[in-house]
Structure 1
Amino acid sequence: CVSKRSVQYLSSSDQVVLANIFNAYENTCMRAKKTQFQCFPAVPHTSIHEFLNEFSSSFQIFLEYFKNIPEFDNIIMDDKVRLVKSHFGIMINMNEPLMHPITSSNLLATWTNVFGINLTKRLLKRNEIMEQYIYDPLLLKILLIILVLSSNNVRHLNHVDIIEIYDNSLSIYAAQNVYIELLWRYILSRSETEKDAVKFYNKLIMCILYTQNLDMDIDSYVTSLTHEIQQMEPLMQNMWPRNDQIIDITDDEIIV
């Protein structure tokens, strides 16, 4: 049964978009979790490249999910590739707790082995912060779409193969705006008052900032480990600045 507040704030077209987000995620990421990634990682890893090489398969599934989001899929190929490269870290950091809300012993051991105690504590804190939102079947999924549909450079990398000027920034802004407005209406529909919605929204922004700061620190750490990047599978290698020793794959292979 649809609540009165949902009817008040969410149009029938909003409901269709929300249903598409939910079903697309269930049919890609959650189906893969139940069939391929029941235990992630399968074993504790002791190196970044081993960890990300195992992660590569689930990341491809995550990209399949995004191809079911029309506003993302309609963006020109080169810009889609730039968005994926620019927001690779936030994709991992937001999607991992969605797919695996309980931190397995293998994952905890891997974090400790490859990132050290400090970053591991911050990753656990991230999960603790996000835990309060995971009960909602749509909230973080809408938020993740908004973050990926951002043309901002959040990785602080000055390499043209990672951070480039987008060919059609206006289409990206327009696509992102669709989901920003949808998120606000969705929060309103689930809040007692507009004041409660504002408080909730502000709290959500703090969650984003924590996750993005953590992501940038992890990204900087991995970027410094050239020898690890050289041992990654091509898809994972292509998320970092290239050098002559790194195997190249075409950008289209990232999305297609």
Structure 2
Amino acid sequence: MSSKRRLSASKPPQEIDGDSNVNESEDSSRSDICLVCGDKARIINYGALSCLSCRTFFRRNGFRPDGLRPCTFNKCCEINMQTRHTCTACRLAKCFRMGMSSDLIRKEDTKKLKCTSSLKQSSTTDQSTSQQVTTAPQLVTSNTSNILHSDQSSHFDSQWTLLSNIVHSHDTFSTMSQMLFTVNNLPTLSVETHSNVINPIEIINQMCISMQSFISSSPDFRVLTLSEQTSLFERNLPGVVAFYSTLFFRHTGILRIPEYLNAFITIYGSDIMLSLRHTIEQLDPDPTLIKIILIILAFSSNCLIVNTNKTMERDSLLDGTFRLLGSQNVYVELLWKYLISKYGYDESVLRFARLIQIFLCVMKKLAVVHTNNAIHRAIFDDIADRTKKILANNENDRTLLWGKSLVS
């Protein structure tokens, strides 16, 4: 018995608001949305109508629910298109609740094994003929199946592992869930507590800590010397945090709350904040793309554009820029293959172009802010000083990184 079947298109597909919450009782009768997260869906996967993202998630985690990071919010996380990567435990629990079964994963694997065996027998018969045929290289189109899943070679296997590590590392150190929890409980807080939680400087500090931890967990970062690590953060952390803020503000929605918006306006002014809100509205709805770009930016030679350190030109890290580009190229290739596998060639080109446009817009505004806003510079000068101390203290740390331990 097949584990998935295509549904009849009795209703035209409807656009889903990425910020809307998914109501299980209302959406269970719909034939065009994922029962887990509310994304567009047309196929029943493993027993429940689900999108490609949730299908992939369940396939990877359906057999090992005990191995997931436990929920930190009493197993009450809302799962929708924007939050589905935030709490893996609650997402998997909802997959099971919506009817997905891990037994069907095993049945699908058995079916694929039989098909593969049949294809091998057929290909053996025609092998002598096929070897004489020369084919021209072809562009990947929108009909291409998911590269990161369908190709079983060790090369693509390692790329999928890398993508998984990036997303998991980002989500592990992200403070967006805590921010959402604070926002949801804002009406119940006392007036004194309001001034503590609606503190833009503290929110920026938390975003910086999140990105520092995310970048530091990368093996590419840990093989650098202490001076190179310090230089890399000095060059790129402000730019990384600025781009990360677009994802952070969109996911938490705090700029739609007047108290938070006004607090940020007191530091950055209304023009910058209104421009940021407009940029957030244009941001690609796929958070995985943003997470990959963040690690790409982390290994730039200087994504801030502004030269904050006059001695930077004599920095030894610039003599080894090819090392940065080597790491960056791996992540850029991963980004492109993820785009192709999920959206096809034409849509990938458009999405990639829009992402570059948004990044350049953010960096342009950041350069203006960094040049003209003394409060902003003071915040990041303080962060830079604390970062140097943290890196010095962790120089000999050999904690687990992305499934591997560093060898002394």
TM-score for both structures, normalised by structure 1: 0.76
**Structure 1 residue aligned with 2:163:** 18
Indicate whether 1:149 and 2:149 are aligned: no
Instruction: State the alpha-carbon separation in 2 of the partners of residues 67 and 88 from structure 1.
Output: 11
Pick aligned residue for 1:63 from 190, 212, 218: 212
Counterparts in 2 of 1:188 and 1:237: CA distance versus 1, 3 Å? same
Deviation at 1:182, TM superposition (A): 0.8
Deviation at 1:188, TM superposition (A): 0.8
Equivalenced residues, count: 232
Counterparts in 2 of 1:119 and 1:154: CA distance versus 1, 3 Å? same
Indicate whether 1:209 and 2:360 are aligned: yes
Q: In 1, are the aligned partners of 2:239 and 2:304 still within 8 Å (CA)?
A: no
Q: Which has the higher helix share?
A: 1
Q: What is the root-mean-square deviation of aligned Cα atoms in Å?
A: 3.2
What SS is found at the alignment partner of 1:11?
helix
Instruction: State the alpha-carbon separation in 2 of the partners of residues 61 and 148 from structure 1.
Output: 13
Describe the superposition over 1:206-228 as per-residue Cα deviations: whole angstroms up to 9, x where unpaired.
11111111111121122x459x8
The structure whose RCO (Cα within 8 Å, separation 6+) is larger is 1
Q: Which piece of structure 1 moves more, 85-94 or 177-186?
A: 85-94
Indicate whether 1:191 and 2:328 are aligned: no
Deviation at 1:181, TM superposition (A): 0.8
Pick aligned residue for 1:251 from 374, 388, 392: 388
Deviation at 1:83, TM superposition (A): 1.8
What SS is found at the alignment partner of 1:206?
helix
Deviation at 1:252, TM superposition (A): 4.3
Q: Which amino acid aligns with 2:166?
A: I
**Structure 1 residue aligned with 2:248:** 99
**Structure 1 residue aligned with 2:290:** 140
**Structure 1 residue aligned with 2:370:** 219
Q: Which has the larger radius of gyration?
A: 2
Counterparts in 2 of 1:238 and 1:254: CA distance versus 1, 3 Å? farther
Indicate whether 1:4 and 2:4 are aligned: no
Q: In 1, are the aligned partners of 2:236 and 2:298 still within 8 Å (CA)?
A: yes
Deviation at 1:121, TM superposition (A): 1.4
Describe the superposition over 1:152-199 as per-residue Cα deviations: whole angstroms up to 9, x where unpaired.
36342252366752433222111111101111111111123x233222
Q: Which runs of 5+ in 2 are unaligned?
A: 1-54, 57-143, 187-192, 395-408
Q: Percent identity?
A: 17
Q: Which amino acid aligns with 2:332?
A: I
Instruction: State the alpha-carbon separation in 1 of the partners of residues 332 and 387 from structure 2.
Output: 32
Q: How does 1:95-174 map to 2 (within 5 A)?
A: 95-101=244-250, 102=253, 103=255, 104-130=257-283, 133=284, 135-152=285-302, 154-157=304-307, 159-160=309-310, 165-167=315-317, 168-174=320-326
Q: In 1, are the aligned partners of 2:173 and 2:213 still within 8 Å (CA)?
A: yes
Counterparts in 2 of 1:250 and 1:44: CA distance versus 1, 3 Å? closer
Q: Which amino acid aligns with 1:219?
A: H
Q: How does 1:36-75 map to 2 (within 5 A)?
A: 38-39=181-182, 43=194, 51-75=200-224
TM-score for both structures, normalised by structure 2: 0.50
What SS is found at the alignment partner of 2:343?
coil
Counterparts in 2 of 1:70 and 1:26: CA distance versus 1, 3 Å? same
Instruction: State the alpha-carbon separation in 1 of the partners of residues 259 and 280 from structure 2.
Output: 16
Q: Which amino acid aligns with 2:339?
A: I
